[in-house]
């Protein structure tokens, strides 16, 4: 049985950076599940049909990291039929040997609730806004408004709201550099793996 690591948290908390580093460290496959929703939103048209017809090329689009793609992803992620269309893809990915790291908003609570390691990565709103503004060369105040709007929408949606799993290890990256955040996450995984 493959070893699954579920990493959840709000935008710009550092979960994607941590997930990539963990997958490299352990030699596991990595899936940024947010790309599934970003690609679905970017395709346009009927969101359910877009989710059902995703291809590898759709996930490789260069515009998927934009603020617009993130907002579109958050809006379509609230549609239960879109989420259902993407669940099978994520379940299949989690079965890849020797292990898989999936990061998103509902991995530990919905997609892989039996994952032996669940991490929930957070950071203060201001730190997340500054990170996203630097990444996108945007205004931090504008990013703060957008992140809070997205957090509210993601946390209040009926289908798979953003929240930590009951047994998730919370990692607050507000005052950590990348190396420290990654080391903290790897230590949490190693405690479970032995």
d(CA 6, CA 116): 8
Gap between the Cα atoms of 69 and 77, Å rounded: 12
Q: What is the secondary structure of 55-96 as a DSSP string?
A: -HHHHT-TTTTSHHHHHHHHHHHT-HHHHHHHHHHHHHHHT-
Q: Which residue numbers belong to the known binding site for ATP?
A: 9-17
Residues placed in the known binding site: 9-17
């Amino acid at each position: 049985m493959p070893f699954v690591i579920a990493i959840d948290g709000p935008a710009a908390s550092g979960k994607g950076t941590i997930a990539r580093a963990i997958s490299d460290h352990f030699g596991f496959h990595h899936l940024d599940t947010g790309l599934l929703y970003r690609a679905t939103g970017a395709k346009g048209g009927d969101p359910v049909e877009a989710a059902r017809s995703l291809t590898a090329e759709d996930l490789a689009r260069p515009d998927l990291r934009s603020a617009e793609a993130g907002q579109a992803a958050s809006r379509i992620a609230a549609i239960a039929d879109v989420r259902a269309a993407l669940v099978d893809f994520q379940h299949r990915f989690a079965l890849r040997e020797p292990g898989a790291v999936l990061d998103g908003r509902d991995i530990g609570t919905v997609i892989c609730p039996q994952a032996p390691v669940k991490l929930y990565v957070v950071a203060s709103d201001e730190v997340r806004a500054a990170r996203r503004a630097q990444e996108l060369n945007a205004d931090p105040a504008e990013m703060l408004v957008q992140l809070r709007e997205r957090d509210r929408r993601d946390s209040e949606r009926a289908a798979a709201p953003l929240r930590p799993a009951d047994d998730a290890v919370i990692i607050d990256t507000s005052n950590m550099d990348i190396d420290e955040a990654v080391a903290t996450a790897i230590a949490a995984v190693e405690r479970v793996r032995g």
